[in-house]
């Protein structure tokens, strides 16, 4: 079996994901060093870069699957005009290196691709082009007080309802000078509840600034959440880039989260939030936070 890092149409729910049917997904939130470009042919290509990051998924594939993907990627060992070349790279997750794996980088035929894909994430890039944006808020953006202060509340007026994101846990693992901030960690046995908004692009622009996307505090992430009625919705959300041990939030920040949660989330989930916050803040209960 061979480890393979994929970043484009082979990713989950993308056009060629069937090539990885029955392959074992080792990590679904990983990255490698590189820079991602749009070929303008319906798929991306990665060029080598030692500073920027490309996000994707890590699989274990059979020899037969690898051979089929080689054909898909236009790769032939020793070929002089390959679409892609194959290379062994180091793969990382939020906590550090996880494996070495094969991936496909630009070959001679795609070397002239120049349209940079922002944030190195093909799924985010594709989602933003659909024109219908749903945002999953799991932290302070569940509350609207800062939307009103920034005079952007009109962008967040279309609330779809609550959603559940499986395979992640809620933590205050973004440590800042202003206390711990809400974050997602990959955790197969946990789930996170939140509020789903339907947004115009102006709302996304505000969120990118607020979440510190441009200073690499958080990065955009596309995931699937389930609603109360069982509908699955692909959503934009944000995940912290650098993780730390949990840090206590400020009282104001904790109150924003709990106030927002109490509007739509389940009682049991809210109680879990209260306990986590209370533990971090030394036993402070809900009444003392308001």
Please state the length of the chain.
290
Distance of alpha carbon 25 from alpha carbon 3, whole angstroms = 10
Q: Tell me which of 14, 57, 193, 211 is the catalytic residue.
A: 211
For this structure, is 211 an active site residue?
yes
Q: What are phi and psi of 251, to 5 degrees?
A: -65, -40
Element (H, E) at 255: helix 251-264
Give, in order, the Cα–Cα distances in Å from 142 to each of 29, 182, 199, 219, 257.
24, 11, 14, 18, 6
Distance of alpha carbon 68 from alpha carbon 85, whole angstroms = 15
* DSSP symbols for 208-232: HHHTTGGGTSEEEEEEEEEETTS-E
- Catalytic residue numbers read 211
């Amino acid at each position: 079996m061979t480890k393979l890092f994929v970043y484009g149409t082979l990713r989950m729910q993308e056009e060629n994901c069937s090539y990885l049917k029955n392959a074992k997904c080792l990590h679904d939130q990983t990255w490698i060093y590189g820079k991602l470009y749009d070929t303008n042919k319906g798929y991306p290509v990665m060029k080598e870069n030692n500073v920027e990051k490309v996000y994707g998924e890590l699989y274990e594939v059979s020899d037969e699957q690898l051979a089929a993907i080689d054909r898909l990627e236009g790769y032939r060992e020793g070929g002089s005009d390959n679409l892609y070349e194959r290379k062994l790279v180091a793969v990382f997750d939020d906590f550090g290196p996880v494996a070495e794996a094969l991936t496909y980088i630009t070959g001679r035929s795609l070397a002239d691709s120049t349209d940079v894909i922002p944030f190195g994430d093909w799924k985010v890039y594709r989602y933003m082009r659909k024109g219908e944006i749903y945002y999953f808020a799991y932290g302070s953006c569940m509350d609207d007080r800062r939307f009103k202060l920034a005079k952007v509340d009109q962008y967040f007026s279309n609330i779809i309802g609550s959603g559940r994101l499986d395979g992640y846990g809620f933590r205050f693992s973004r440590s800042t000078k202003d206390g711990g901030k809400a974050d997602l960690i990959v955790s197969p046995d946990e789930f996170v509840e939140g509020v789903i908004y339907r947004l115009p692009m102006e709302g996304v622009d505000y969120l990118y600034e607020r979440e510190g996307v441009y200073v690499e505090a958080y990065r955009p992430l596309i995931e699937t959440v389930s609603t109360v009625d069982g509908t699955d919705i692909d959503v934009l959300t944000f995940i912290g880039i650098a993780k730390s041990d949990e840090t206590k939030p400020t009282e104001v920040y904790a109150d924003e989260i709990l106030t927002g949660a109490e509007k739509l989330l389940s009682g049991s989930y809210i109680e879990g939030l209260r306990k986590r916050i209370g533990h971090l803040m030394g036993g402070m209960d809900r009444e003392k936070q308001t």
